Amino acid sequence: MQKKSMKRILVTGGAGFIGSHLCERLLSEGNDVICVDNYFTGSKDNIRHLLNNHNFELVRHDVTSPYSAEVDEIYNLACPASPPYYQYNPIKTMKTSIYGAMNMLGLAKRVKAKILQASTSEVYGDPAVHPQVESYWGNVNPIGIRSCYDEGKRAAETLFMDYHRQNNVRIKIIRIFNTYGPRMNSNDGRVVSNFIVQALHGEDITIYGTGTQTRSFQYVDDLIEAMLRMMATEDSFIGPVNVGNPGEFTMLELAQKIIDLTNSRSKIVFLPLPGDDPKQRQPDITLAKEKLGGWEPSIKLEEGLKKTIEYFKTL
């Protein structure tokens, strides 16, 4: 028998970077967690330390097929998140976003679970509004090499909204901005992990374009806090809500910071920009602050980078 206060929670993509931190936090709060993953980009190594916990269950499953379990809450994270992986099989990426959302929404409907979608700042595309507010509809290329991810995530948001309007499913949508931290995949081409690995190996640090394009970086613990707060909001608040760190840095500043923190001898080199790379991305988090009990990122870039660098040193 489950304890009364204990919730049974399904996390899809739970063996990934963000999912593993989420599983860890949900378990630490006394919940029963089912982690579903097909290990496309995730790894058992990310959750190995949780396997002895009796409240943790690990299921190898692909969310493009239906899955069933009696749960109170679902966090839908399953989806490759970095360009080399989501472009490896773009049709599969779309299927994961769309069939995955439909299968999880169908489950939420049947078992009356609350369901949270891990959407993305990529729904804003190359934004004409800066910083991005939730009411901005975005500037997305529907036929480019990033579209399988961007449009897949946009379609998933549509499905969430329609299951809510048509079937009263209790949904929550968060739009996650660039997040980094321990257990990021070391070779998935994301900028923070790329720079750290290059700096630790003393290799050239590659910047695409001139390095003046900006990004904002959120440490993973800040994101997890926002996810739990979002799930706990009253049913009438469904989002979408931006979750990210508005502190903006150029790629050049980030590279220099990482070189300093690792005492690296690496030099910075410049390569041509890949297709559809957004020039600027920064969240407006006014709504998150208002609706998520005053939530705002609390971990400074330097502090988060130090923890991430420590993790990469252990690999």
Ligand X SMILES: NC(=O)c1ccc[n+]([C@@H]2O[C@H](COP(=O)([O-])OP(=O)(O)OC[C@H]3O[C@@H](n4cnc5c(N)ncnc54)[C@H](O)[C@@H]3O)[C@@H](O)[C@H]2O)c1
Check residue 17 for interaction with ligand X (CB under 6 A): yes
Check residue 39 for interaction with ligand X (CB under 6 A): yes
Among 10, 11, 27, 42, binds ligand X (CB under 6 A): 42
CA distance 122 to 99: 19
Cβ-based nearer residue to ligand X, 18 or 50: 18
Per CB under 6 A, the segment of 15-23, 49-57, 108-116, 295-303 that binds ligand X is: 15-23
Cβ-based nearer residue to ligand X, 78 or 259: 78
Cβ-based nearer residue to ligand X, 96 or 214: 96
Cβ-based nearer residue to ligand X, 132 or 178: 178
Sort strands 56-60 and 32-37 into parallel, antiparallel or unpaired.
parallel
Check residue 214 for interaction with ligand X (CB under 6 A): no
Question: Under rule CB under 6 A, which residues in 224-263 are in contact with ligand X?
Answer: none
CA distance 197 to 264: 11
Cβ atoms within 10 Å, residue 290:
12
Among 7, 8, 13, 98, binds ligand X (CB under 6 A): 13
Check residue 23 for interaction with ligand X (CB under 6 A): no
Among 103, 120, 147, 282, binds ligand X (CB under 6 A): 120
Q: Minimal distance in Å, beta carbon 262 to ligand X?
A: 21
Token pair 């109170």: residue: 72
Check residue 118 for interaction with ligand X (CB under 6 A): yes
Check residue 63 for interaction with ligand X (CB under 6 A): yes
Per CB under 6 A, the segment of 13-21, 47-55, 105-113, 272-280 that binds ligand X is: 13-21
| 149 included as an active-site residue | yes
Cβ-based nearer residue to ligand X, 41 or 214: 41
Encoded one letter per residue, x for contact with ligand X by CB under 6 A and - for no contact, window 142-181 reads ----------------------------------x-xx--
Among 32, 62, 73, 221, binds ligand X (CB under 6 A): 62
| Size of site (CB under 6 A) for ligand X | 29
Active site residue: 149, 163, 180, 219, which one? 149
Ramachandran assignment for 6, one of left (phi > 0), alpha (psi -120 to 50 degrees), beta (any other) = beta
Surface-to-core class of residue 26, CB atoms within 10 Å of its CB (0-12 exposed, 13-18 middle, 19+ buried): buried
Among 9, 50, 79, 251, binds ligand X (CB under 6 A): 79
Check residue 16 for interaction with ligand X (CB under 6 A): yes
Check residue 27 for interaction with ligand X (CB under 6 A): no
Q: Which residues bind ligand X (CB under 6 A)?
A: 12-13, 15-19, 37-42, 62-64, 77-81, 96, 100, 118, 120, 176, 178-179, 185
Give catalytic residues, as residue numbers.
Answer: 149
